[in-house]
């Protein structure tokens, strides 16, 4: 795809989301800086147990209720019944070694105050091994490479995301799901259930599944990302982001039409992507996005 060639898919960047703390609530932004590991501050922090293993809404659904914001050089965290926790964006305490899925990575512990805040909010109803929690920050000097079985010749990197730099979804994909939920007598859901970073408007349902590299923006200020792996879905999309209550309607609906042979028949929604070009580029809601369909 060249700069002046027509594209199969043309649309706009409808939404930008970052999730500063892995598995906590996301933050909708009008613009965000792209880095080689994804959006700035996306999954830069993570909650771990006493063994340094990451925890998520799979074990602790109440993580969905922890709402981040950025203010005056700080990450501010709020949760029901808790005083807000303020963390300087450049703060870190002692070194740590932690595990996210199969990767052990260097990180920094965020100290006892943050650990107590998370333990107090999440630990009360948690299993015994999850009552003492700590907040960890990714070491910016570390390099966590995405799985080369999916990235091929492109070198992709991530911080504490499950495995890839970005997650891409289209608004039409959500609309398709909601139509099916409605037909089954279920309430619609919003995109927060699927935790994408970039939401594409003007594409067809699940066009992100079958497209090649995606150009965002125009001219020298554009960026290029590459969808590489369908995003297999766990129970998290069935957790209500407003109440942290688990359900089953979303998973039930997806199982009727979203099994993907590329990942062993797992249920998928959205595409994991890596950054090919654009480190330091600021992405903005409303920018044009274009891609060609992939036939392979």
Mean pLDDT calculated for residue range 100-111: 96
Confidence of residue 242 (pLDDT cuts 50, 70, 90): very high
For residue 52, tell me if it sits in a domain.
yes
Confidence of residue 4 (pLDDT cuts 50, 70, 90): low
pTM of the model: 0.95
pLDDT attached to residue 5:
67
pLDDT attached to residue 2:
53
For residue 3, tell me if it sits in a domain.
no
pLDDT attached to residue 1:
55
Q: Is the pLDDT reported for residue 280 higher than 90? A: yes
pLDDT attached to residue 254:
98
Q: Is the pLDDT reported for residue 3 higher than 60? A: no
For residue 4, tell me if it sits in a domain.
no
pLDDT per position as a tens digit, 14-67: 999 999 999 999 999 999 999 999 999 999 999 999 999 999 999 999 999 999
For residue 2, tell me if it sits in a domain.
no
Which range of residues forms the domain containing residue 260?
9-293
Confidence of residue 128 (pLDDT cuts 50, 70, 90): confident
pLDDT attached to residue 208:
97
pLDDT per position as a tens digit, 230-240: 999 999 999 99
Confidence of residue 134 (pLDDT cuts 50, 70, 90): very high
pLDDT per position as a tens digit, 140-170: 999 999 999 999 989 999 999 999 999 999 9
For residue 154, tell me if it sits in a domain.
yes
| Domain CATH for 117 | 2.40.33.20
pLDDT per position as a tens digit, 244-262: 999 999 999 999 999 999 9
Q: How many domains does the chain have?
A: 1
Given a contact cutoff of 8 angstroms between Cβ atoms, the answer to whether 174 and 191 are in contact is yes
* pLDDT averaged over every residue in the chain: 95
Mean pLDDT calculated for residue range 84-113: 95
For residue 287, tell me if it sits in a domain.
yes
- Residues 188, 189, 190, 193: what is their CA dihedral angle, to the nearest 10 degrees? -170
For residue 1, tell me if it sits in a domain.
no
Q: Is the pLDDT reported for residue 96 higher than 70? A: yes
pLDDT attached to residue 63:
98
pLDDT attached to residue 76:
98
Mean pLDDT calculated for residue range 207-220: 96
For residue 102, tell me if it sits in a domain.
yes
- Measured in degrees and rounded to the nearest 5, phi and psi for residue 238 equal -90, 0
């Amino acid at each position: 795809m060249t700069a002046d060639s027509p594209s199969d898919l043309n649309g706009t960047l409808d939404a930008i989301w970052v999730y500063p703390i892995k598995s906590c609530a996301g933050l909708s932004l009008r613009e965000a800086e792209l880095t080689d590991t994804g959006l700035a501050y996306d999954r830069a922090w993570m909650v771990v147990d006493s063994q340094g293993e990451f925890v998520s809404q799979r074990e602790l659904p109440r993580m969905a209720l922890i709402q981040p914001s950025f203010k005056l050089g700080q990450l501010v965290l709020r949760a029901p019944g808790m005083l807000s926790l303020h963390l300087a964006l450049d703060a870190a305490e002692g070194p740590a070694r932690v595990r996210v899925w199969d990767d052990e990575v260097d990180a920094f512990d965020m100290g006892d105050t943050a650990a107590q805040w998370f333990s107090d909010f999440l630990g009360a109803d948690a299993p015994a091994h999850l009552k003492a929690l700590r907040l960890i920050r990714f070491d910016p000097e570390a390099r966590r490479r995405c799985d080369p079985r999916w990235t091929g010749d492109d070198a992709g990197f991530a911080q504490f995301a499950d495995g890839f730099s970005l997650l891409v979804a289209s608004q039409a994909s959500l609309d398709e799901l909601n139509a099916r939920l409605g037909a089954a007598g279920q309430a619609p859901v919003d995109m927060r259930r699927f935790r994408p970073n970039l939401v594409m408007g003007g594409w067809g349902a699940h066009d992100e599944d079958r497209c090649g590299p995606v150009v965002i923006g125009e001219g020298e200020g554009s960026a290029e990302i590459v969808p590489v792996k369908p995003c297999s879905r766990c129970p998290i999309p069935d957790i209500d982001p407003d109440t942290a209550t688990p359900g089953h309607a979303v998973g039930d609906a997806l199982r009727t039409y979203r099994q993907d042979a590329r990942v062993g028949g797992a249920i998928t929604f959205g595409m994991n992507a890596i950054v090919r070009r654009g480190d330091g580029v600021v992405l903005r809601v409303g920018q044009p996005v274009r891609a060609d369909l992939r036939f392979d």
